[in-house]
A and B are shown apart, each in its own frame.
Chain A
Amino acid sequence: MKLRMKFKKGRPVMFISHLDMIRTFERSFRRADLPLAFTQGFNPRPRISFTPALSVGITSSSEYMDVEFEETISPDDAVARLNAVLPEGIQIIKAGTADEKIPLSTVNCATYIVKTALEMENPSELEKGINNLLNRKEIIIEKSTKSGVKSVNIAPFIYNMKLLSNTNGTADICMEVSIGQQGSVSPKLIILELEKVLAKKLEIVSIHREEIFYRNENNKILPL
């Protein structure tokens, strides 16, 4: 049977990579004595699939994985047993059957909250800058790839941006951006562009992935 699990990646583990995360889960399932299903073949791997990798240094309250078990397991039981043996900073928020849910591979949108430190005499200036960036049809950035430097327009990947709060020299900016195969842009890059617009330095304090989901013109579907 296949379970879908939603988990969070907190500050204590913000620097571990996607591969580290996979290893950690494999070992945690064994500690929890949950009967993972494995692939056949020369080098059996556990049957776990994840949503797109989170960049190192970013925390998240919305990561998902599909896990196959050899036996029937109740979602609540799996959550309790796993949470008892997970390292500090990783926690299963909920679990349910993966049947009749959108495939994790279709997840194409994420919201991030970026905490920045800035010195701004006029707070509305920041809001203006954000709107300016959001309304642009073209934001061309240079991306270095294996075959050299490429120009990419990131404007279509930014769906929404807004200022959540702006007090005591820190501002929380919420951004909804495209992730996955059809194109993605990192919150860091958007902040760099925002700096250009404002002609001011914005120091990133933290980046948090708030939610990931499937998005089309009319709908927003959560994986679980």
Chain B
Amino acid sequence: MTIEKQLEKLLPQVSKPTRYMGNEYNSIKKDKDNIKVHVALAFPDVYEVGMSHLGIKILYHLLNQYPDIYAERVFAPWVDFEDLMRKEGIPLFSLESKTAVAEFDFLGFTLQYEMSYTNILNMLELSGIPIFSNERREGHPFIIAGGPCTYNPEPLSDIVDFFVIGEAEEVIVEIMDLYKSFKERGESRQRFLEEVAGISGVYVPSLYNVTYNDDGTIKSILPKQADIPRRIQKRLIKDLDNVYYPTNFVVPYMDIVHDRAVLEIFRGCTRGCRFCQAGMIYRPVREKSVVRLEKLAKDIIASTGYGELSLASLSTSDYSELKQLTEILTDEFRQSRVSLSLPSLRIDAFSLELAKKVQEIKKSGLTFAPEAGTQRLRDVINKGVTVQDLLTSVKDAFSSGWKTVKLYFMIGLPTETYEDVEGIANLAFAVVDVYKKVHGNTKGLKVNVSTSTFVPKPFTPFQWESQITLSEIEERQKFLRSLFRKNKNISYSWHDGKLSFLEAVFSRGDRRLGQVLKIAHDKGCKFDGWNDMFSFEKWMSAFNESGVCPEFYAYRKRSKDELCPWDIIDPGIDKKFLLRELEKSQKAEITPDCRIRCHACGASKLKAGGCCETKNEI
């Protein structure tokens, strides 16, 4: 029986069968017998999460532009369907042609967050593909990975055949071209890996040896052969304005997490927040032109029929022609009732004005991200927001009718004291007071405070810092709970400290974690990012059994000359810059926005975006 036939019988028994159905409008059908390369693009989470991710959509449509390449989508089945699949012997399959994943040439994963790693192992197992790369043989698909987590690829080095570092639009086509010729030549799997390692931006971990010092730190990561690069430079799209961008997005039937058309307006960020990995690795800033965006927006809406268009970037307010762009788009779509949404707005008077115009009467909550509770700590992390900024914006928002605000903070930032933690509460109370001043009472007001725990990330100035311990996390959360208990307008939520601890382990982990992942997977860890699925006990016993100490990765303050697992990657920014930023953070000194002055982060050598052209380097 074909998978398609089996599905008709099984899908009535599962929750949300639409997840596995495919066949959405704009999904691409090709005859798989008439192609040269068959690529499965996998997102290691359920459909509604994976379908909300822009990167995989760009690659899907980009690859399918080529008649001899067929890219299909694959998502992690939810546990109810997984049980049925295992029981009925159905392998993991692609959404479009319902082909078993093991039959593809490539299986590519996007790595968006560390806690999805166990799902990758589970998906390989469901596909019948060996979990470790050294167990794969001729005929198995190549397991490849891209996305932000590949900036430290090492925890998955024993699992993934090769990583694509950086922006994939160009390099993925080069890889496909190489593969076509490799297939024609009929050469070995090993030979392909050696050849693909020659493409800039590709990292083939099996071609490198890692040695360790007695204290467990890394002594060396060196290529096994002379012609393999010692360091992998990230790939970067120099001309973002002219790079391929799809307009014929697949339109899901079911309600997905971000159910709207997405228009990417720029990449990179000039703010330089010291905890933020995205702000570092995606440098330099490159914008798309208003002309191009207007054309794309019209085409996307015409092709998808979406009623909402979201402008995507790391910091929407920083787009240099945001006012002009939003005016053009609101005019364009007034008739067809397409609303604009502007996420990642930095809330100031200008943005609020925009938000008012764009949302007109639809007053959903406003999100503010002061990140830290005191000015001192905000200076440490280089988050250039003052209490005055926040309270002025909040006052404006309340006067214009907003009643719900969300305040987002981190706990456990470097140098944080209880005074800073208390500052979080004080800021929330100040927001309540502003509302009282505006309206005379607190009727209808909702202040949602949420905290996550700081996770030190590779290629940030804080990459050498330690995470606070799990008991410290829980103490600080408890302290905040006690402070907020009295206030009925404030609700406080927090990110599970145990998850943050594991994120800290994997974000700066090394190859030895591959074994831990395997054991955790064998114990049944999957969907770790889902509260009801996460089992910290299983994880801890996996660490125990493997003899790998998680605290070594999460709690250890690194010395400045330590060789980090991710030093094999060159993201285009210099270590010297990161160290300068670290030192400044220790003195609570801020670094202004790159648009004001260049801080010589090193990204200028990438020769893109022109962010450093007119300014002198310091």
Contacts and interface: CB of A to CB of B under 8 A. Distances in A.
A44 B11 CA distance: 34
Contact of B18 (A16, A31, A35): A16
A27 B305 contact: yes
B253 A30 contact: no
B328 interface: no
Interface string B186-197: 000000000000
A89 B23 contact: yes
B303 interface: yes
A53 to B, nearest CB: 15
A29 interface: yes
A13 B23 contact: yes
A27 B309 CA distance: 13
Contacts of A30: 301, 305-307, 336, 338
Contacts of B338: 30
- Most B CB contacts (10 A, CB to CB) among A24, A38, A43 go to A24
B23 A26 contact: no
A87 B337 contact: no
Contacts, number: 71
Contact of B254 (A16, A27, A29): A16
B17 interface: yes
B251 interface: yes
Nearest to A29: B305
B contact patch SS: loop
B305 A56 contact: no
Interface residues of B, number: 26
A152 to B, nearest CB: 23
Interface residues of A, number: 30
A42 B254 contact: no
B253 A16 contact: yes
Contacts of B362: 42-43
Given A15-B18, A20-B253, A38-B337, A31 B23 contact: no
Given A16-B254, A30-B336, A87 B24 contact: yes
B439 to A, nearest CB: 20
B116 to A, nearest CB: 26
A12 B306 contact: no
Contacts of A129: none
A88 B25 CA distance: 8
Given A23-B253, A43-B362, A57-B12, A15 B17 contact: yes
A182 B616 CA distance: 78
A82 B8 CA distance: 28
Contacts of A89: 23
Contact of A15 (B21, B307, B335): B21
Interface in A33-51: 33, 35-36, 38, 42-44
A19 interface: yes
A166 interface: no
B255 interface: yes
B404 interface: no
Contacts of A155: none
B303 A31 contact: yes
A85 interface: yes
Contacts of B305: 26-31, 85
Q: What are the 4 tightest A-B residue pairs by CB atom distance, in nearest-first order?
A: A27-B305, A30-B305, A31-B305, A15-B17
Interface of B: 8, 11-12, 17-18, 21, 23-25, 251, 253-255, 301-307, 335-338, 361-362
5 contacts: A17-B18, A20-B18, A24-B251, A24-B253, A86-B25
Given A24-B251, A42-B362, 14 more contacts: A12-B21, A13-B253, A15-B11, A15-B12, A27-B251, A27-B305, A28-B305, A29-B305, A30-B305, A33-B302, A38-B337, A85-B25, A85-B305, A87-B253
